[in-house]
């Protein structure tokens, strides 16, 4: 079996496509179940964030796996396969491991170095464990990715290369001013109480907002977030929770709104925003759109899958991406800002037409993507890349060594059975042996067998961990005439260990 990932992200697809392809929680669960039901896959995990959708699987056939995973992504995202395919990337085996480890370190994030991705990877693993779609390979892979990400943040200054998406978004709202000075004394409305909204609320509280109001469809979660905000030692913010039905009234009092919900439709329409500000949307001046050329990301190895005669034909290394991507960004209305809007949801929570309303400044995922293209890169990024490369090599060695482990266990089990059989035969021939003599003979025979097996089993694990070492397990089975069913039984027992892959 082999690791395969098929996905799309802000690096490969425009925000409009990512927005349409976003997966709700129940859709992710159905995608995982359908992937496992597909012939090429035995394990599956989904990593879905505001700027990426990736499907990981352990497959037995590469081309069939690419075709099946691509088709499943299209079916569950609602974006047609022919339209989705040009934006998909494919990574296989070590390249797939390298990709996830880079993602975990924040190297592939919209804002390089942000740490929120670790929580999202942890959630993806938990979902796969809960639905029993993540087996040995994906448990090991995602657990290792979390360790690699934590190592990168603790051993390097990758955090200095960028900020969280929330912090970066607030910087864009501040439009060049110091975010803390800009936010001080403002009244903020946070819509949603998930991980991103919670981070936004905490960030606003730390920057000196006078009040943070939290609105959420489940009131208890909003209440809990408010309780956490009020318990913070480093903030003195006033915080309160409201029902979603009160959002309209709160808009009339808010200076800053941050929205990140799981809604599939708009949470704030342009009409609702215009009403809150007491202006007429139709009379608001519409600023002309600005076409910008977004620089392509550096050093990105993209594997492209394409459609041929209506089906996925192949996946090949396409080399570095060099072509710039042209995007159209609506210009913001001019004049003083009465209401600053930060939309971190995918699909979007806030109507894009809000930019037409006088006194409104809107920053969303698309504008953040454009702004982050010019964000400075820290020297620590090179160090993180080295860590990722080292960890990929270590993961590959561990997986190859794990592949031979069931064979070694089966060999030692067979040897133990042989010893037990010979001791039983000895009991028949020498029935007068006392317990002490019998125990000494048994221990001696076991020591002989252990010493004979020690060197070859240790050596075969070392050889199997090296590139191209997968054949040593097969050789060991042939040399000792081991029953393949016994080896498979050892593998299943290890896979079903309830303590495996959990932290």
Task: Quote the CA–CA distance of 81 and 35 in Å, as a whole number.
Answer: 16
Strand order in the sheet with 187-191: 238-242, 211-215, 187-191, 256-259, 339-343, 360-364
Q: Which residues pair with 241 in a beta bridge?
A: 214
The catalytic site residues sit at 50
Q: Which residues pair with 91 in a beta bridge?
A: 5
What average pLDDT is seen over the chain?
81
Highest mean pLDDT among 105-119, 248-262, 335-349, 459-473: 248-262
Task: Pick the closest to residue 165 from 368, 319, 442 (CA basis).
Answer: 368
| Residue 293, pLDDT score | 34
Contact 138, 44 (CB under 8 A): yes
| Residue 313, pLDDT score | 32
Task: Quote the CA–CA distance of 213 and 199 in Å, as a whole number.
Answer: 14
Q: What mean pLDDT is predicted for residues 115-119?
A: 87
124: pLDDT strictly greater than 90: yes
Task: Quote the CA–CA distance of 86 and 308 in Å, as a whole number.
Answer: 12
| Residue 375, pLDDT score | 57
Would you tell me how many other CB atoms lie within 10 Å of the CB of residue 100?
29
- Give the pLDDT band (50/70/90) at residue 455: confident
Task: Pick the closest to residue 115 from 68, 150, 156 (CA basis).
Answer: 150
Structure tokens at 377: 């890169």
Q: State which H helix or E strand residue 310 sits in.
A: none
The per-residue pLDDT for range 68-103, each reduced to its tens digit, is 999 999 999 989 999 999 999 999 999 999 999 999
- Indicate the SS3 state at residue 136: helix
- Give the pLDDT band (50/70/90) at residue 452: confident
The per-residue pLDDT for range 423-444, each reduced to its tens digit, is 888 888 888 888 888 889 989 9
Q: State which H helix or E strand residue 141 sits in.
A: helix 136-155
Q: What is the largest CA-CA distance in the chain?
A: 109
């Amino acid at each position: 079996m082999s690791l395969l990932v098929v996905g799309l992200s802000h690096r490969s697809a425009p925000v409009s496509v990512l927005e349409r392809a976003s997966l709700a929680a129940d859709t992710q669960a159905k995608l995982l179940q359908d992937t496992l039901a597909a012939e090429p896959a035995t394990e599956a995990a989904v990593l879905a964030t505001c700027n990426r959708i990736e499907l990981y699987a352990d497959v037995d056939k590469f081309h069939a796996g690419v075709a099946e995973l691509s088709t499943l992504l299209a079916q569950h995202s609602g974006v047609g396969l022919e339209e989705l395919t040009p934006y998909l990337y494919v990574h296989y085996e070590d390249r797939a491991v390298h990709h996830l480890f880079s993602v975990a370190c924040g190297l592939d994030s919209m804002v390089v170095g942000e740490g929120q991705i670790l929580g999202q990877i942890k959630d993806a693993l938990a979902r796969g464990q809960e639905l029993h779609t993540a087996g040995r390979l994906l448990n090991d892979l995602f657990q290792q990715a979390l360790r690699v990400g934590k190592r990168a943040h603790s051993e390097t200054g990758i955090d200095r290369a960028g900020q969280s998406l929330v912090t970066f978004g607030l910087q864009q709202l501040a439009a060049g001013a110091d975010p803390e000075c800009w936010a001080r004394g403002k009244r903020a409305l946070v819509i949603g109480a998930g991980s991103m909204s919670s981070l936004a609320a905490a960030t606003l509280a730390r920057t000196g907002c006078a009040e943070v109001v939290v609105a959420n469809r489940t009131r208890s979660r909003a209440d809990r977030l408010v309780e956490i905000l009020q318990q913070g030692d480093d903030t003195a913010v006033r915080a309160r929770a409201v029902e979603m039905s009160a959002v309209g009234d709160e808009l009339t009092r808010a200076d800053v709104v941050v929205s990140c919900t799981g809604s599939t439709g708009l949470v704030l329409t342009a009409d609702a925003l215009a009403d809150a500000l007491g202006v007429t949307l139709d009379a608001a001046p519409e600023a002309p759109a600005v076409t910008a050329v977004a620089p392509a990301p550096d050093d990105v190895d993209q594997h492209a899958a394409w459609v041929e005669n209506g089906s996925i034909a192949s996946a090949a290394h396409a080399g570095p991406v060099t072509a710039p991507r042209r995007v159209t960004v609506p210009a913001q209305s001019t004049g003083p800002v009465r209401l600053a809007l930060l939309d971190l949801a995918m699909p979007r929570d806030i109507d894009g037409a809000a930019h037409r309303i006088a006194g409104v400044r809107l920053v969303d995922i698309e504008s953040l993507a454009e702004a982050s293209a010019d964000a400075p890169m820290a020297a620590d990024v090179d160090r993180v890349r080295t860590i990722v490369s080292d960890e990929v090599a270590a993961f590959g060695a561990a997986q190859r060594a794990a592949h031979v482990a069931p064979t070694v266990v089966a060999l030692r089990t067979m040897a133990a059975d042989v010893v037990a059989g010979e001791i039983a035969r000895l009991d028949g021939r020498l029935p007068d042996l006392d317990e002490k003599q019998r125990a000494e003979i048994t221990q001696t025979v076991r020591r002989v067998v252990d010493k004979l097996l020690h060197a070859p089993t240790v050596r075969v694990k070392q050889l199997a961990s090296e590139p191209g070492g997968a054949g040593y397990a097969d050789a060991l089975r042939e040399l000792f005439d081991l029953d393949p069913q016994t080896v498979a039984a050892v593998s299943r027992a290890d896979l079903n260990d309830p303590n495996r892959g959990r932290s």
